[in-house]
């Protein structure tokens, strides 16, 4: 069908780069007969020895396109008898949903700073991605979504029908995506697997210490001229046992901080890591034993079928009387109604959550003038020993910079047909959990 092959610009380390770059410069000229080749891209790493032979323009419909064959070096385009795997417009559009002002700032900065040559167009929508809003991504090659966007089978089908071929998650968790359906539709789905796990770990410890030492109350009291210490009694962290459910990147980063506090560490994770045992002196135990021994239980596992309500009436009953429960991972790890019962019965001594089971209808918006209909949430807010924040564990300059850069890099991988470390498939669930 296309019995020619050609290359995108070569990297500096390519043996043919000098010879070929002269050709590519020629292609940039208005008189070039290769309007489809994006010669303005940053040069990718390349060790490809292929030469340009008989290049010729490729057009798809009325637009110029880049054609990508992922089996080849990312910089190479082999135009052969096989049909192209993807045909992409020269200016790929990305519809960014649930876009807050800080998302705009960091994504636009990353795009301009590192991917200017790709001509990615970012279209920001403040509303979330839902079945109703999916149509607004029509004509966009990719959507960029966040933790509370519901990327169900129907949403994926609507996106696919509108021409979208990539879903870029600007978060680590992917419980909100129907990966099976995405695979069936051939959609590229990628997440930001790691971004400053220390940011979330530091926040989890901040929640523990706020609730323990009542700094949030101290702040309000002193501003009102109340210097009484009555009701402010906390405990010393040194020597306490902290149970970490999940010792992945964030769980480990939390363990490192708590090790510095002089805490004893017990962990539960189906996939044990050496650093927790050997480097940090942690002890792996079963979930039941962890709950029975820990003064503080901190959740750092992903939300999956097997971890949904991992903290429920039964597991709460196994916890030490008066223990603290911290959740900076995903809301539905805790059966919130069961936690409320445990708080009411004084079984649970304190609850600190940055994530909430039904947060999608509350978080990331100013609802201070709204009547909040969620009675479970409102009941939680009445407990003096409960601290709730609005899913902000990730919210540091460093983490947002990494999230934005990795999200845009994932888009580049999609466009170039490169290997992508953050790519997700339905089977990914089996890799990270039971
Ligand atoms: N609050 C926030 O802002 C925020 C930000 C980033 C991530 N998160 C959440 O934190 C979670 C953890 O992130 P991470 O980067 O450490 O992920 P990770 O994949 O590095 O670690 C998760 C760990 O959980 C373990 N695990 C799987 N099933 C388990 C089970 N049944 N019981 C115990 N452990 C189990 C895995 O083996 C893995 O070691 C994410 O899934 C996400 O939901 C929250």
Q: Where are the domains of the chain?
A: 1-89, 93-195+398-416, 197-388
Atom of ligand 1 at shortest range from CA of 245: 33
Match 């901080």 to its residue by tokens: 257
Tell me the CB-side half-sphere exposure of residue 307, using CA atoms within 13 A: 26
| Distance between Cα 334 and ligand 1 center (Å) | 14
Q: Do the first three CATH levels of 93-195+398-416 and 197-388 match, i.e. the same topology?
A: yes
Q: Do 245 and 297 form a contact (C-beta atoms < 8 A)? A: yes
- Let me know how long the chain is: 434
Sequence-distant (≥ 6) Cβ neighbours of residue 71 within 8 angstroms: none
Say if residues 43 and 14 touch (Cβ distance below 8 Å).
no
Rounded to a whole number of angstroms, the CA Rg of the chain reads 25
Closest ligand 1 atom, residue 171 Cα: 6
What pLDDT, on the 0 to 100 scale, is given for residue 387? 98
Q: Is 422 in the pocket of ligand 1 (CB under 6 A)?
A: no
Q: In what order do the strands lie in the sheet with 348-353?
A: 283-284, 264-268, 241-245, 296-299, 323-327, 348-353, 386-388
Three-state SS at 57: coil
How confident is the model at residue 429, as a pLDDT? Answer: 53
List Cβ neighbours of 340 (8 Å cut-off, separation of 6 or more). 376, 379, 380
93 bridge partner residues: 121
CA 180 to chain centre: 18
Give yes or no for residue 170 CB within 6 A of ligand 1. no
Q: What distance in Å separates the CA atoms of residue 244 and residue 301, rounded to the nearest whole number?
A: 9
**Residue from 176, 114, 89 nearest 408 by CA:** 114
Strand 4-7 versus strand 76-79 pairing type: antiparallel
359 is catalytic: yes
The dihedral built from the CA positions of residue 215, 317, 389 and 110, taken in this order, carries a sign that is positive
Residue tagged 């999956």 (tokens): 304
Per-residue pLDDT of the chain (434 residues; tens, 9 = 90+): 332 233 344 334 433 344 444 334 333 333 333 334 443 444 443 333 333 333 333 433 444 444 443 333 333 344 434 444 455 566 899 999 999 999 999 999 999 999 998 999 999 999 999 999 999 999 999 999 999 899 999 999 999 999 999 999 999 889 999 999 999 999 999 999 888 999 999 999 999 999 999 999 999 999 999 999 999 999 999 999 999 999 999 999 999 999 999 999 999 999 999 999 999 999 999 999 999 999 999 999 999 999 999 999 999 999 999 999 999 999 999 999 999 999 999 999 999 999 999 999 999 999 999 999 999 999 999 999 999 999 999 999 999 999 999 999 999 999 999 999 999 998 765 433 22
Residue 223 bears catalytic tag:
no
Q: Is 172 in the pocket of ligand 1 (CB under 6 A)?
A: yes
Q: What is the Cα–Cα distance from 169 to 174, expressed in whole angstroms?
A: 8
299 Cα to the center of ligand 1, angstroms: 8
Residue 29 CB neighbours (<10 A): 10
CA 301 / ligand 1 centre spacing (Å): 3
Task: For Cα atoms 168, 172, 175, give the angle at the middle one, nearest 5 degrees.
Answer: 85
3-state helix vs strand vs coil in the chain, percent to 5:
35, 20, 45
**How far is the C-alpha of 297 from the C-alpha of 320, rounded, in Å?**
10
The confidence score (pLDDT) of residue 55 equals 34
CB of residue 17 inside a 6 A radius of ligand 1: no
Contact of 348 with 323, CB cutoff 8 Å? yes
Is domain 93-195+398-416 given the CATH code 1.20.1440.230 in the classification? no
Question: For residues 181-206, b (16+ Cβ closer than 10 Å) or e, as one string?
Answer: bbbebebbbbbbbebbbbbbbbbbbb
Cβ of 311 closer than 6 Å to ligand 1, yes or no, is no
- Using CA atoms, how far apart are residues 193 and 402, in angstroms rounded to an integer? 10
Distance between start and end Cα atoms, the chain? 46
Q: Specify the pairing of strand 241-245 against strand 264-268.
A: parallel
Question: What would be the CATH architecture of the domain defined by 197-388?
Answer: 3-Layer(aba) Sandwich (3.40)
How high is the pLDDT of residue 428? Answer: 65
* C-beta separation of 329 from 298 below 8 A: no
């Amino acid at each position: 069908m296309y019995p020619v092959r050609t290359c995108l610009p070569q990297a500096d380390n390519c043996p043919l780069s000098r010879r070929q770059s002269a050709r590519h410069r020629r292609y940039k000229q208005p008189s070039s007969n290769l309007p489809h080749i994006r010669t303005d891209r940053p040069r990718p790493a390349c060790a490809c020895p292929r030469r340009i032979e008989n290049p010729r323009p490729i057009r798809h419909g009325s637009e110029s396109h880049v054609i990508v064959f992922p089996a080849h070096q990312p910089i190479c385009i082999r135009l052969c008898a096989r049909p192209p795997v993807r045909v992409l417009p020269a200016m790929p559009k990305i519809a960014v949903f649930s876009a807050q002002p800080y998302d705009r700032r960091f994504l636009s900065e990353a795009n301009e700073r590192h991917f200017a040559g790709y001509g990615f167009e970012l279209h920001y929508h403040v509303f979330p991605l839902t079945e109703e809003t999916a149509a607004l991504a029509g004509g966009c090659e990719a959507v960029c979504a966040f933790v509370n966007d519901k990327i169900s089978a129907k949403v994926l089908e609507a996106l696919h029908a509108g021409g979208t071929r990539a879903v870029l998650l600007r978060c680590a968790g992917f419980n909100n995506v129907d990966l099976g359906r995405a695979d069936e539709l051939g959609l590229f789905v990628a997440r930001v697997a790691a971004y400053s796990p220390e940011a979330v770990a530091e926040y989890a410890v901040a929640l523990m210490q706020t609730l323990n030492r009542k700094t949030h109350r101290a702040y309000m009291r002193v501003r009102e001229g109340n210097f009484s210490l009555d009701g402010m009694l906390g405990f010393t962290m040194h020597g306490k046992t902290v149970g970490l459910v999940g010792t992945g990147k964030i769980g480990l980063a939390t363990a490192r901080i708590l090790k510095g506090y002089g805490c004893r560490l017990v962990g539960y994770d189906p996939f044990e890591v050496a650093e927790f045992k050997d480097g940090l002196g942690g002890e792996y135990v079963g979930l039941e034993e962890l709950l029975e021994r820990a003064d503080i239980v901190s959740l750092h596992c992903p939300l999956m079928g097997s971890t949904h309500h991992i903290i429920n009436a039964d597991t709460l009953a196994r916890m030490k009387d008066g223990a603290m429960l911290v959740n900076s991972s995903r809301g539905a790890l805790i059966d919130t109604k069961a936690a409320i019962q445990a708080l009411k019965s004084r079984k649970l001594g304190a609850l600190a959550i940055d994530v909430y089971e039904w947060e999608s209808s509350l978080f990331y918006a100013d609802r201070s003038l709204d009547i909040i209909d969620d009675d479970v949430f409102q009941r939680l807010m009445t407990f003096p020993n409960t601290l709730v924040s609005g899913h902000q564990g990730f919210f540091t300059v460093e983490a947002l910079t990494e999230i934005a850069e990795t999200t845009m890099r994932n888009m580049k991988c999609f466009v170039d047909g490169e290997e992508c470390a953050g790519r997700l498939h339905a089977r990914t669930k089996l890799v990270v959990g039971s």
